[in-house]
Amino acid sequence: MVAVAGKVALVTGGRRGLGAALVDEALARGARKVYSTARSAHLDDRPEVVTAELEVRSAASVAALAEIAADVEIVFNNAGILLPDPLLTGDFERVTETFDINVFGPLRVARAFAPVLAANGGGALVNMHSVLSWLAGSGAYGASKAAAWSLTNSLRLELAGQNTRVVGVHAGFIDTEMVSAVKLPKATPAEVAARILDGLEAEATEVLADDVTATVKAALSGPVEHLTFSALR
């Protein structure tokens, strides 16, 4: 069991949205320290929270954070970006940025913190995906989240030998600034954060954070042409 109480956690992208809710939920469950990162400096007056700057596109930035946060036992790879550019006609630099942040960013964090987690008993790595990992039609964003899902499944195998639990989280739309323009039902960040930590503490391999995600996951064995973004509408 990966109990949060008494542990030291790291939340990338912890300044707002789901990241901020994960910081709150970890503290509510008794985490003794939570590192909360953002691209720029930010403040949090709670004594258990340590804020830090992190650019997940920079290996040097990630390595510097691993030096500072050498006591981390649970890593929440939450930082991400939503740039739904079409794969064929979208700006290629934006497509590249999407993959760099949503796929290679979590991989940089995993590579830097794997030795830290091993030194601290194994702990856990929790990666945020999306229901769009399984649905076509959201351009570079969905493709990047599909790649992130595969990344997590491979990291699970590679980190098993050091006793690090790897958890993949899939969620539909969360009521944050990132998807404020999407006119579909949304869960609150607090609801999703609670489900993530419930799953972590219950030793889940995968967390399906809402009903729509569970429905889409159940449809994966069906015809692939049915797995499109329009299925959510």
CATH number at residue 119: 3.40.50.720
Which run of H or E residues covers position 191? helix 189-201
> Is 1 within a domain?
no
Q: Does any domain span residue 69?
A: yes
- In a domain? residue 117: yes
If we measure between CA atoms, which residue out of 166, 171, 175, 197 comes closest to residue 27? 197
Output the CA–CA distances (angstroms, integers) from residue 21 to 12, 36, 137, 195, in the order listed: 12, 11, 28, 11
Residue 173, pLDDT score: 81
Which residues belong to the active site?
A: 141, 145
The whole-number average pLDDT for the span 166-175 is: 90
pLDDT tens digits, residue range 114-152?
999 999 999 999 999 999 999 998 999 999 999 999 999
Instruction: Give the integer Cα–Cα distance in Å for 99 and 94.
Output: 9
Q: What is the domain count for the chain?
A: 1
Does residue 27 lie within any of the structural domains? yes
What is the span of the domain harbouring residue 215?
Answer: 8-232
Q: Flag whether 134 is in a domain.
A: yes
- The mean pLDDT value of the chain amounts to 93
Asked if the structure places residue 160 within a domain, the reply is yes
Does residue 195 form part of some domain?
yes
Question: Does 184 have pLDDT greater than 90?
Answer: no
- Indicate whether 183 pLDDT > 70: no
Give the pair of three-digit tokens for residue 96.
């590249």
This prediction's pTM: 0.93
pLDDT at 224: 85
- Is residue 162 situated within a structural domain? yes
Cβ(6)–Cβ(32) below 8 Å: yes
Q: How confident is the model at residue 174 (pLDDT cuts 50, 70, 90)?
A: confident
Kindly state the helix (H) or strand (E) to which residue 36 belongs, with its residue range. Answer: strand 33-38
Please write the tens of the pLDDT for every residue from 9-60.
999 999 999 999 999 999 999 999 999 999 999 999 999 999 999 999 999 9
